[in-house]
Amino acid sequence: MPTQSANLRGQSLIAGEPTFGEAGETTGWNPSTNESLSPTYSLLAIEQLGAATEAAAESFTSFRSLDPTTRANFLEQIAQNLTDSSETIIERAKLETGLPESRLRGEISRTTGQLSLFARLVRSGDHHGVRIDPERSERDPRPRTDIRQRKIPVGPVAIFGASNFPLAFSTAGGDTAAALAAGCPVVFKAHNAHPGTSELVGNGIMEAVKKFELHPGVFSLVFGVGTEIGQALVSDPNIAAVGFTGSRSGGLALLKTASERPIPIPVYAEMSSINPVYIFQGALRDDKSDIKALANTYLSSVTGSSGQLCTQPGLVFVPSTTEGDEFVEAVANAIEHHEGQTMLTSDIHNAWLNGIHTLATQEGVVEIGRGETGTTQNSPAPTVFQASIDAFLSNPVLQSEIFGAVSLMVRYKDIHDLLRASQALEGQLTTTLRIGKSDLEGASHLLPILEQKAGRLLVNDWPTGVEVGHAMVHGGPFTATSDPRSTSVGTLAIERFLRPVAYQNFPQELLPASLKNDNPWQLNRLIDGVVTKVDEK
């Protein structure tokens, strides 16, 4: 059994110090073999958590005051450290997650790319949101005083890593990158499904903190029993905001804890989504439509990463037409060639089995195709089901997320069916239209509803593969996320960890650099309500 434990301590990293946990232990597991991986990880007791959160609070004043260049260089140093140890990280992540190497290589690029993107944002300084309303001494009846606004970081952030992205949504993932870019120290709760990967990445962050001689409280990595340490972390008075990617039950529990604090704090939880796809008749019938190709790309989106993606299309509306029948048949035929891939953990595998058992036994739900079980442990056969629109509308179980390679095709008659079904949807991360040229009018009727139901809308594309950019929204109405005003991917994600502060009648000497007249950080600013680029004034 190949394990790689040489450089792993099996301990939490609290403010730069490896720390033995006093509340039991765990290990990573190889989901392909169901064998445990060394080393043993000691789990932090709740009483030990204060050392991390207090150090985070202590580090906050100096960390948030960093100049943009230093902060950007710090983020890029983390990216560089991950790149330097990427072979070790990928080797360990493969063992702990069962994800294929190509996927993990892509994910490490994505993770370092996110860090670099936030470094560029920090250099631009646009996230300071500078607004200046200059003095108007001549105003009648009352002179106007000089008022300036900037956004400042909210304070130390608790972040919970996801199981399904051991790098991009984990230790140095999007939430961590956004929080550090904003100027918030991070206390990161590792997902116990990939402790070794978390430790290796945590080392990379810790080394960057040391290299830049930052206060060590800027970053801590804690291992613990999820529910207990999670509640304690969210209750901790030094924590000012929470980032979470995971299950609905987990997210809702943290949200409840946060709202019951003496001082409630925001929770940005990305939870569950079945990412409905609407296949219009034109997508199957218009010129050059290739029904088999569409079936194949659909199944690639359903089964990629063993279906363990937040944006996996778990629900597809297919017209009750001859072409719709052809599509369903093409899917049924194509799925036979899809072999199961290892899922992340045996718990996730068991939940998937339970989920499809529940779905299969709902009235009106029929299995229409199934792939092969994989050769490793925990690699179930991808499966597709079909149901009528009436069955779908009468039974909310049919829109429960089943995390893994399964999708439900719902057959509809006309646009009215789609409108009704859309109104009945829970909040989603994405919705997708597959249309031909003849479907523009139908699509335009559906879009106003879909905008109310999802954070991202796609046309003739698939929702998996979330681009990391400036325009991305990886968020959406409850219960896709706990806060639809936000995104957890892309540069807008930094807004989650900022709040505005106004400075009235300040002498130049006391203003922060971002607000001084001579604009030393070369920021774009809103002056008297007018967007004013740095090269304009």
Q: 204 or 243, CB closer to its own copies?
A: 243
Q: 25 or 528, CB closer to its own copies?
A: 528
Q: Is 103 in the site for its own copies (CB under 8 A)?
A: no
Distance in angstroms (rounded) separating the CA atoms of residues 80 and 165: 19
Residue 524: partners with Cβ closer than 8 Å, 6 or more residues away: 124, 125, 126, 130, 531, 532, 533, 534
Q: 35 or 467, CB closer to its own copies?
A: 467
Site track 413-452 with its own copies (rule: CB under 8 A), x = hit: --------------x------------x--xx--xx--xx
Residue 357 C-beta: closest distance to its own copies, Å: 27
Stretch that binds its own copies, among 67-75, 91-99, 167-175, 478-486 (CB under 8 A): 478-486
Stretch that binds its own copies, among 25-33, 127-135, 208-216, 408-416 (CB under 8 A): 127-135
Stretch that binds its own copies, among 5-13, 138-146, 353-361, 416-424 (CB under 8 A): 138-146
227: tokens are 């529910």
Describe the chain by its helix, strand, coil percentages, rounded to 5: 40, 20, 40
260 is catalytic: no
Q: Is 460 in the site for its own copies (CB under 8 A)?
A: yes
Q: Is 297 in the site for its own copies (CB under 8 A)?
A: no
SS3 308: coil
310 is catalytic: yes
Distance in angstroms (rounded) separating the CA atoms of residues 395 and 275: 18
Q: Is 259 in the site for its own copies (CB under 8 A)?
A: yes
Q: Is 183 in the site for its own copies (CB under 8 A)?
A: no
Give the distance, in angstroms, between the CA of residue 392 and the centroid of all CA atoms in the same chain: 28
Which string of DSSP letters, residue by residue, matches 443-479? HHHHHHHHHHHEEEEEESS-S-S---SSS-----TTT
Residue among 123, 94, 121 nearest 107 (CA): 94
Residues 512-531 within binding reach of its own copies (CB under 8 A): 524, 526, 528-529, 531
Could you say which of 107, 270, 401, 426 is catalytic?
270
**β-strands 147-153, 131-133 pairing:** antiparallel
Size of the site for its own copies (CB under 8 A): 76
Distance in angstroms (rounded) separating the CA atoms of residues 468 and 211: 27
The values of phi and psi at residue 202, to 5°, are: -60, -40
205: tokens are 């962050």
Could you say which of 184, 199, 310, 401 is catalytic?
310
The values of phi and psi at residue 321, to 5°, are: -130, 175
Site track 144-163 with its own copies (rule: CB under 8 A), x = hit: xx-xxx--x-xx--------
Q: 260 or 363, CB closer to its own copies?
A: 260
Q: 24 or 264, CB closer to its own copies?
A: 264
Q: Is 140 in the site for its own copies (CB under 8 A)?
A: no
Catalytic residue numbers read 270, 310
